[in-house]
Structure 1
């Protein structure tokens, strides 16, 4: 096993950072790592906003659900789906590409591109001894986030990524068994197979929580998912995404 794989397999979310800020060179290295990610058809349909203004970080922490690590970290990156460059280029060339840019495929390309870039940043940061945590809570109030970051039409903030020097190490959560994630040739639908591995996984996750909280928590992964998907989340997003020019057709 090489060091890259060791870094990937050792991932855990960090939610407590020292006061040390990332240097400009570290930020540059991480952004260049993002740009080295694969991109669909060379489209590069994303942008990254680095937030260093402390007042803006404080407001984003509030909008994300009062998460203190959004405010206190080494650097905050916000990854955006971005088709504005492509829209601007088309208009300057006298072309009307609006229908193509507004369709679902273009939306998926931009979201996937941004996600691949962000994961490159995560791996690069962890290889540098830094810690990271993704911030999906920005989508709680995306209109306010968009206003704060002044993102124009065809630029959609998707999630944040906090990076910094860990104040302490968090524990690593076990992922689903490979037998439930990896399928060969066809999708595995045998309920006996699924139930077996899911039951074993739930037992291990319950034990993890029980040990970590001294018995105060012992819910399973299945219980978390059933609870989490009991009702739609962020139902406003469909309309807001369309308002920003994405996924209209």
Structure 2
């Protein structure tokens, strides 16, 4: 097993960082790694905003649900789906990309590009001994986040990532067994899937019980059923369309 695989398999979210900035050269290297990710048809439908001003980080922490590690870290990135650049390109060349930008496929391409770039950055950061945590909480108040970061039409901040020198060492959180997520040739039927899920339910219940000293003992399925009982951020469709995206 090489060092890259060891680092990937050792991933855990870090929510407490040392008060130590990340060198600018390292920041630029991490962004370069993000840009090296695969991108659909060379479109590169993303931008990355590096939030350096403490006042902006403090406000983002508030908008994300008062998550302190959004404000207290070595560096904070915001990953955005970005078709604004493509609109500028179309104006520059006399073309028209509206149909693609407004399509469902176009929106999916953008989200996939963002995810690939961000995970490249995460793996690179962890290979340097840094810790990371993804911040989906910025979507709690996406209109305000967008205004704070001055994102024009066709640009949507999808999530943040706090990066820094770890000041905590949480345990590895169990993942679903490979039998639950890896299907060979055809999707497994429920008769084969259910026993695996039931076993994972017991394993994760034991994990939470141990981690919280008995204060919490729900398994993964119980947790997911509870948290997914009601949809979240139901304003999203209207907001995305207001940005000129996903209209078709």
Runs of 4+ in structure 1 deviating by more than 3 angstroms, as ranges, are none
Aligned to 2:97: 97
What is the CA-CA distance between 1:228 and the residue it aligns to?
1.1
CA shift for structure 1 position 181: 0.1
Post-superposition offset of 1:92: 2.4
RMSD of aligned alpha carbons: 0.8
| Structure-2 separation of matches of 1:206 and 1:12 | 18
Query: What is the distance in 2 between the residues matched to 1:94 and 1:27?
Result: 35
| Partner-residue secondary structure (3-state), 2:120 | helix
Match of 2:117 in 1: 117
* Unmatched 5+ stretches in structure 2: none
TM-superposition CA deviations, 1:144-202 (whole Å, max 9, x none): 0000000001111000000000011111101000001001111112x231111111111
**Residue in 2 aligned with 1:75?**
75
Distance 2:97 2:10 in 1: 44
| 1:35-114 correspondence to structure 2 within 5 Å | 35-114=35-114
Partner of 1:209: 208
CA distance in 2 between counterparts of 1:150 and 1:170 reads 35
Query: Is 1:153–2:167 an aligned residue pair?
Result: no
Distance of 1:100 and 1:222 partners within structure 2? 38
For residues 11-50 of structure 1, what are the structure 2 equivalents within 5 Å? 11-50=11-50
The match for 2:236 is: 237
What is the SS of the residue equivalent to 1:248?
coil
Identify the residue that residue 247 of structure 2 maps to in structure 1.
248
Aligned pair count reads 248
What is the TM-score of this pair, normalised by structure 2?
A: 0.98
Instruction: Find the aligned partners of 1:131 and 1:31 in 2 and give their Cα distance.
Output: 16
- Tell me the residue number matched to 2:196: 197
* Partner Cα distance (1:100, 1:52) in 2: 33
Give the CA deviation at 1:94.
Answer: 2.3
TM-score w.r.t. the length of structure 1 is: 0.98
